[in-house]
Amino acid sequence: MVSPGDIFILGVQWIHTLAGVAWVGGSLFYLLVIRPALRKSTSQLDTSTSVATGFRAVVDIAVIILIITGVVLAFDRLTSRYTDVSYVSVLGIKVVLSLWMFWLAGVIQKKRHLRTSRSTVSEPNHATGATNRVFASANLIAIIGVIVFLLSDLLQALFEDALKAV
């Protein structure tokens, strides 16, 4: 029988996954669709700034949700009698990679803020070069995000295997 606690954890897992999909999926969409389209655009700087500002709001909300739900899920699993050393090790790697993603997202935000506060109409080449450097970190965020999703699936498999062994 399903308990209210199980339903709560299921809801938290679902929200955690949606936040991760929004961030990582949005990053992949940006890198694979929007950025190539912006390279062909004549008003790239204005469009790029607009897209970055909109996506930043999504990332900020996703990070907050991921942290809160991640803490709840980690506490739930780490207090389970079915959690072993391999689960804790993989979870530790996932947490470190996630923190690295959060840090990179903060670096991008700071660089974008500096770029927009310093850019003027007479300096389009400098701003465009800064945009390319900033989004090099976006590439890394997407790669790490895909790895974090893989680790999430591995954690689920480890936990399910531990349940089967009982």
| Dist CA 29 CA 23 (whole Å) | 10
CA nearest neighbour of 33 among 111, 41, 164: 41
Instruction: Give rounded-to-5 percent helix, strand, coil for the chain.
Output: 90, 0, 10
Which amino acid belongs to residue 163? L
**CB neighbours of 16 closer than 8 A, spacing ≥ 6?**
65, 66, 69, 70, 73
Predicted pLDDT of residue 130? 52
CA nearest neighbour of 13 among 74, 58, 59, 60: 74
Q: Which residues of the chain have pLDDT under 70?
A: 42-49, 112-113, 115-135
Predicted pLDDT of residue 120? 46
Predicted pLDDT of residue 75? 96
